[in-house]
Amino acid sequence: MIRSLHIAAKDLKAEFRTKQMLNSMVIFSLLVIVIFSISFGDLLGDSKIVSQLAPGVLWISFTFAGMLGLSRSFASELENGCLEGLKLCPVDRSAIYNGKIISNAVIMFLVEIITVPLFVVLFNFNITGLFELAIVILLGTIGFISVGTLLSALTVNTRTRELLLPVLLLPVIIPVIIPAVVATGKILTNGDISDISGELRLLLVYDVIFFVIAQLVFEYAIGD
Amino acid sequence: MLTNFQKTKILSIFTAIVMLIANYMIFFYLPQMRGGAGELLGSSFKIFYFHLPIAITSYLAFFVVFVASILYLKKGTHNWDVLARSSAEIGLIFAALVLVTGSIWGHATWGVYWTWNDIRLVTSLVLFLVYIAYLMMRQAIEEPEKRARLSAVFGIVGFASVPLSFLSIRIWQSYAHPLMFGQGVQESGGGLEGTSLKLTLIVNFIAYFLLYATILAYKVQNENIQEEISAKKQSLE
């Protein structure tokens, strides 16, 4: 555990020196929101339609921005043979996975903390259940990251890694996107925690199942 | 003793016979279907006897991929990878057929080819996409050992996500689902109660399982021959 924290700390340190990934992810998720607002155009005048569209837009922007980060997560280790160095560390392979999950999740949360207020402003929302929204985003992001990190490690060894990651990731994360969008929609229309218990349970199950599967197979994904 | 080639030949002949019987039963043996109110159901309902066995066979094929992937990672034997690859390709064809027959049937009974309101439709589509991704991944990797290992990992992850997609889609549109699909199958009075109907369905199930087994046997054989050839080619160079 402490070792995975070391790996996460190393990643975050490297990230905060350049802020390369964080900046592009934030700008990208903002751009997604803007493009959606423009393409929906007149529909956004009606507050009823907005509350139906908005959760989807929010999660699309998280997903795309997250994908951007994930595709760099292991690819950045390729330079100067860092991945080999990481594999040579006297730690369990799953410690690398856990470390990467932690660093990816922290970066995702930062992006989300910046995106949500912008989203509230641009879509004229008044979020009442901020705590519930935080839980949904937390669980959704953990599920997304735990599969995404595994697939990022999987695709890093292939030639077309930037192309392959979205193709592999999107069908597999459908079960986490759907409940997250539904739950977000319910919160935005003043639902409370009892309204979203079904979705939360599904998100939790997804997180646990994929975290465990990824722990078991990560060793094979990253290679010898 | 029979060689492997003779065995697959016998299997394929047997499959062809069962397949013919199954089709004969659908078109000539089945009585006219009546709906709940006693009205005659059109012959469009007959597609059900293709649709359901094909769907179950595609699930079976993907389950084989899942099991073969686990066994490959565990044992590292090359044969499991060949099995997983072959089964995934066949399963994908069956999954595509499920979508096609389902759409045709949907158009005949509901008037639309596709609806996002039915959980089974969306789940089949997700399943189809997962295994398209699986095969795309196989194409993207050159080295055989790495390809086998990485696609085994994805074979496990992809299969695990499918039951969860089913559940999540149910949450997504729990209110819209019930009526749509049930009408043609279970609820239309007497749906599948007659013996002749059940018998036809069972024969069709056997026919499609056999079809899967035959194609799988041929596919595995082909893959093995292909590898033999490339090994011989390399030894010549």
Each residue's pLDDT tens digit, A118-140: 888 887 777 777 888 899 999 99
- Nearest by CB to residue B140, choosing from A159, A175, A209, is A159
pLDDT of B184 reads 42
Total count of domains within chain B: 1
pLDDT per residue as tens digits for the range B97-116: 999 988 888 888 777 888 77
Residues of A in contact with B142 (CB under 8 A): 159
Chain B residues inside the 8 Å CB shell of A154: 150, 153-154
Interface residues from chain B to A (CB-CB < 8 Å): 73, 126, 129-130, 133, 136-137, 140-142, 146, 149-150, 152-154, 156-158, 160-161, 164-165, 167-169, 171-172
- Helix (H/G/I), strand (E/B), else coil: A76: coil
Asked if the structure places residue B220 within a domain, the reply is no
A44 DSSP 8-state letter: G
- Mean residue pLDDT of chain B comes to 81
Beta carbon pairs, A and B, within 8 Å: 96
A97 Cβ contact partners less than 8 Å away, ≥ 6 residues apart: A4, A149, A150, A153, A214, A215, A218, A222
Q: Which of B157, B126, B84 is nearest to A150 (CA)?
A: B157
Distance, CA of B207 to CA of B213 (rounded, Å): 10
B181 inside domain: yes
Q: Could you tell me if residue B66 is inside a domain?
A: yes
Contact A158 B136 (CB under 8 A): no
Is A111 in contact with A26 (CB distance < 8 Å)? yes
Chain A residues with beta carbon closer than 8 angstroms to that of B140? 158-160, 163-164
Mutate to test the interface with B, among A139, A154, A170, A208 (most CBs of B within 10 A): A154
- Inform me whether the C-beta atom of residue A208 falls under 8 Å from chain B C-beta atoms: no
- The pLDDT of residue B213 is 92
* pLDDT at position B115: 79
In a mutagenesis test of the A interface, which of B72, B130, B153 is the best target, namely the one with the most A β-carbons within 10 Å? Answer: B153
Q: How far apart (Å, rounded) are the C-alpha atoms in residues B84 and B58?
A: 13
Q: How far is B119 from chain A (nearest CA, A)?
A: 12
Chain A residues inside the 8 Å CB shell of B172: 178-179, 182
**Is the pLDDT reported for residue B89 higher than 90?**
yes
Grade residue B175 by pLDDT with cuts at 50, 70 and 90: very low
Does residue B135 lie in a domain region? yes
Burial call A95-114: b when 16+ CB within 10 Å, e when fewer:
bbbbbbbbbbbbbbbbbbeb
**Across the interface, which of A158, A175, A199 has its CB nearest the CB of B164?**
A175
Residue B49 pLDDT: 83
Angstrom CA distances, B48 to A67, A185, B12, B21, B91, stand at 40, 37, 24, 16, 19
Q: Is residue B24 part of a domain?
A: no
Amino acid found at B25: M
**Is there a contact between B168 and A220 if contact means CB atoms under 8 Å apart?**
no
Which residue blocks in chain B are alpha helix, DSSP H? 4-24, 48-75, 78-109, 119-140, 144-172, 177-185, 195-236
Cα–Cα distances (Å) from B146 to A20, A40, A163, B230, in that order, read 31, 44, 18, 18
Q: What is the pLDDT of residue A108?
A: 92
**Cβ separation of B136 and A150 shorter than 8 Å?**
no
Distances (CA, A) of A146 to A99, A124, A152, B70, B163: 11, 32, 10, 20, 18
B111 vs A28 pLDDT, higher one: A28
Q: Quote the CA–CA distance of A104 and A84 in Å, as a whole number.
A: 20
Chain B partners within 8 Å of A178 (Cβ) = 165, 168-169, 171-172
Paired tokens of A34: 């803007």
Whether pLDDT at B189 is above 70? no
Tell me what pLDDT residue B41 has: 62
Mean pLDDT of A111-120: 89
- Give long-range contacts, CB 8 A cutoff, 24+ apart: A203-207: A203/A136, A203/A139, A203/A140, A203/A143, A203/A176, A203/A179, A204/A139, A205/B164, A206/A143, A206/A175, A206/A176, A206/A179, A206/B164, A206/B168, A207/A139, A207/A142, A207/A143, A207/A146, A207/A176
Q: Is it the case that residue B176 has pLDDT exceeding 50? A: no
- pTM for this prediction: 0.85
Per-residue pLDDT band at B68 (split at 50, 70, 90): very high
Q: Where are the domains of chain A?
A: 2-222
> Which amino acid is it at B217?
A
Query: Does the beta-carbon distance from A158 to B141 stay under 8 Å?
Result: yes
Tell if the CB–CB gap between B171 and A178 is shorter than 8 Å: yes
Residue B114: CB partners within 8 Å, gap ≥ 6? Answer: B103, B106, B121
When pLDDT is cut at 50, 70 and 90, the band that residue B40 belongs to is low
Domain presence at residue B160: yes
CA distance A182 to B196: 44
Q: How far apart are CA B208 and CA B227, in angstroms?
A: 28
C-alpha radius of gyration, chain A, whole number: 18
Question: Residue B181 has what pLDDT?
Answer: 42
* CA of residue B192 relative to chain centroid, distance: 22
Which residues have C-beta within 8 Å of that of residue B186, sequence separation ≥ 6? Answer: B192
Distance between CA atoms of residues B85 and B200, nearest Å: 31
* Residue B40: strand pairing partners: B34
The domain in which residue B119 lies consists of 46-186+196-215
> Exposed e or buried b for every residue in B51-86, given b needs 16+ CB within 10 A?
bbbbbebbbbbbebbbbbbbbbbeeeeeebbbbbbb
Residue B179 has pLDDT above 60, yes or no: no
Asked whether B79 and B64 are in contact (CB, 8 A), the reply is no
What is the residue whose two structure tokens read 């997804």? A206
Mean predicted confidence (pLDDT) in B31-43: 61
Residues in B closer than 8 angstroms to A158, CB to CB, are 137, 140-141, 150
Dihedrals φ, ψ of B44, to 5°? -60, -25
Q: What is the pLDDT of residue B91?
A: 93
Query: What are the tens digits of pLDDT across the range A145-176?
Result: 999 999 998 888 888 878 889 989 999 998 89
- Residue A198: its chain B contacts at CB < 8 A? 171
Given a cut of 80, is residue B11 above it in pLDDT? yes
Map tokens 């722990």 to a residue: A215
Per-residue confidence (pLDDT) for residue B117, from 0 to 100: 72
Q: Do B157 and A205 touch (CB under 8 A)?
A: no
pLDDT digits (tens, 9 = 90+) for B157-166: 988 888 887 7
| CB-based contact, A190 to chain B, within 8 Å | no
CA B203 to chain centroid: 16
Chain A residues whose beta carbon lies within 8 Å of the beta carbon of residue B165: 174-175, 178
Residue A185's nearest CA partner among A22, A52, A79 is A52
The answer to whether the Cβ–Cβ distance between A157 and B153 falls below 8 Å is no
Task: Indicate the range of A138-142, B19-23, B80-84, B168-172 predicted with least confidence.
Answer: B168-172
